[in-house]
Amino acid sequence: MARLARALLMASGLLLAAGRPAAAQNQTQGEGLHSLMVAAGKLYFGTAMDTGNFNDPAYMAIVTNKSEFGMFTPENSMKWQVTEPQLDKFSFTQADEVAQKVKSNGQMLRCHTLVWYSQLPTFVANGSWTPATLSAVMTAHITNVVTHYAGQCYAWDVVNEALNEDGTFRQSVFFQTLGSAFIPLAFRAAAAADPRAKLYYNDFNLETTPAKTAGALRIVQLLQSNKTRIDGVGFQAHLAVNHTPPRTSLAATLRRFTALGLEVAYTELDVAQTALPESAAALAQQARDYVAVVGSCLDVPRCVGVTVWQFTDKFSWVPAAFPGRGEACLFASDYSRKPAYDALVALLRGRRLR
Ligand X SMILES: *[C@@H]1O[C@H](CO)[C@@H](O)[C@H](O)[C@H]1NC(C)=O
Q: Does 120 bind ligand X (CB under 6 A)?
A: yes
Q: Does 84 bind ligand X (CB under 6 A)?
A: no
With 0-12 / 13-18 / 19 or more C-beta atoms within 10 angstroms meaning exposed / middle / buried, residue 137 is middle
Nearer to ligand X, 22 or 281 (CB): 22
CB of 290 to ligand X, least distance (A): 16
Contacts for 252 with CB less than 8 Å, ≥ 6 apart = none
Catalytic site residue from 75, 161, 207, 327: 161
CB of 161 to ligand X, least distance (A): 15
Nearer to ligand X, 179 or 210 (CB): 179
Nearer to ligand X, 88 or 166 (CB): 88
x/- letters, 231..270, toward ligand X (CB under 6 A): ----------------------------------------
Nearer to ligand X, 87 or 281 (CB): 87
Distance (Å) of CA 96 to CA 145, 247, 291, 318: 11, 37, 33, 26
84 among known catalytic residues? no
x/- letters, 5..34, toward ligand X (CB under 6 A): ---------------x-xx--x---xxx--
Nearer to ligand X, 243 or 349 (CB): 349
CB of 196 to ligand X, least distance (A): 21
Nearer to ligand X, 229 or 255 (CB): 229
263 among known catalytic residues? no
Measure the CA–CA gap between 344 and 40, rounded to whole angstroms.
12
Catalytic site residue from 84, 268, 278, 327: 268
CB of 23 to ligand X, least distance (A): 4
Calculate ∠ Cα 346-349-350, nearest 5°: 90
x/- letters, 159..198, toward ligand X (CB under 6 A): ----------------------x--xx--x----------
Binder of ligand X out of 2, 60, 125, 332 (CB under 6 A): 125
Nearer to ligand X, 143 or 242 (CB): 143
Measure the CA–CA gap between 107 and 68, rounded to whole angstroms.
11
Q: Does 60 bind ligand X (CB under 6 A)?
A: no
Q: Which stretch binds ligand X (CB under 6 A): 85-93, 119-127, 202-210, 319-327?
A: 119-127
x/- letters, 217..236, toward ligand X (CB under 6 A): ---------x----------
x/- letters, 32..51, toward ligand X (CB under 6 A): x-------------------
Residues marked as catalytic = 161, 268
Contact residues: ligand X, CB under 6 A: 20, 22-23, 26, 30-32, 65, 67-68, 120, 122, 125-126, 181, 184-185, 188, 226
